[in-house]
Structure 1
């Protein structure tokens, strides 16, 4: 398991470093060599300078002076041929001359070498033996101390290893605990973030829902106001069309009455003039003159129409008489022309693009293209969408009147004055 150093929480690492330092100090303290034991004092003999000079000429570790001692030499000198000074290759050095200050050694002044005392020698041998025994005992004690130090060192090392393992286990447990705590904190933070996101999403959804409700209410109010305005406009248009139709009917009735009065007056005047003429002719009647006049004129090709009764006034035509009728192509062209004009005034209801059933309208027209009667729906479908489309088409028919009918259709008025056609409008 990896341990990551955290600057905010260095306690684990400081504790581990302190334990390691203490353990190292304990190991080095145990491994230090034991101090030498204090030894007893050795008797010192005072000698003269000459004795010291003689002692230093020989072996210091020798038990006694060697008789016939020679100066010490580490190696044998090569044989040198003695030559006379005049025959030597190099000049021999001149022997030093004795000065006045130099004195000769006096044999009397030199002390004689004393023979060693047997008791002293035995005592020295005994002391040396005791010293060797003491050194052996010291060596054994040092060996025991070393063994004890090694055992203590091993125990300390074992204890340090146990402490290190314990510290490692504690650090591992602390790391696991901290990791679990970090995971718990991360999970709590994630849950808090999720809850905040959920609350924010809910708030946004509620706000969007409220905004949609307000927008729907506004659109509904606008649609209602538009429908009310459309209804008022249709009512005004219907009223204006009704008034216009009434005015046209009144004008037409007045014109017909005037024409009838004029025709009656003219007929009356013509009848009176004819009566006066007949009276004059009766007064001047002469059968011979009439015979001669008739004889002088050629007989006419026709003597007039015959019937059950004599009718001097021209007929206006029967309602069921034979009149010119539209061909299918002309009728389709006229319906298409009317649909183009109606479609300019058509406004599709909100939410209805195209119905299932196309509306069939009954339109009654005057020769000038105006509506002779109110249009009506012959087929509008059963659904609300089809009904709304049919009503919108009916409003468009009223709004676009009067219609522009080409003069070529004037002779066929009796065939197109009542149009029952199916209309298909596009949504605008």
Structure 2
């Protein structure tokens, strides 16, 4: 039995989808029964889109409270750890943050509409973010979320990434257009009214009370692990090495995009940057209006990618022996979207979403669960419990527990002392 389990495990490492049929009288595993047809490029788009999202808006704020060099070092560490955790998931491969994406719709879409209509930001129902997220969820997100296979979303993911690339280019351009300090032209006066730091000094290393939010924001920005296995199962010619390459390309690309966005956003507004960076720019700026539209489109198209693995996991847990059913497929999507909409309506600020999810779900998905899966699933005949790879996985899980405990401790301390409301955030 032990030898057969080790042989079976090695076969799965070579190809994730088994080439042999199920044993007589045994039902095939439904979670992996889709024949992979999604190309390498589309898989990169989907995973990159799962990584990239609303977290990018809070990275400049994170840099403001850690310093440029410290931030980049932490971001690189988290990117490498995220890649390693995906390696653990793939080795043993045999409700994340939809709320943050919808919160961007809640906060940014009213500003866009009010700008187009030249109206105030309050009063009319169509300027109420709570109503708008429900409308967007029903008319745009739900139809995309009802697609049966994740590979079909590769095209929307590529469009989403293009929108975020436009966001990055605009942030870089605005850095050289917006002056800092008082010795500038009209742009400077407008910028000063937004609360810019008149000292205009970039800090390389910073430690303050708001740092309790910064590391969870960075961890949150790399959460993509629930999407890894569904993307894996639909990858053409699936193998552990091929999917690891998809993950490495995606994480590397997002690290570069995150680093550039945070750096130029921070060097535009310095220590006064807010948790949602778009709120620092003028609402009347035409380019920023286009950026807001691009970000809204990007986060809207990301939600179906995030929803897909949650729905699939629920179907596998609750209805493991049932064949695919469109009514059940639709009902689960409706319930998930309804729950997330209620959460977004009730939560006051996006920074709290970043902090809570970054302190709980992020370490669980990046550190703890992959290490537990690796320790439990990889047979001892392949990797003994006292082997170096399993010792690494154990240390990785312990690191996640420490990260969660420290982040939650600092965050609760900030809440109890009232420092979470400092700096106008």
**Shorter-normalised TM range:** under 0.3
Q: Normalised by the size of structure 1, how large is the TM-score?
A: 0.19
Higher CA-based Rg: 1
The higher relative CO (CA closer than 8 Å, separation ≥ 6) is in 2
Structure number with higher helix proportion? 2
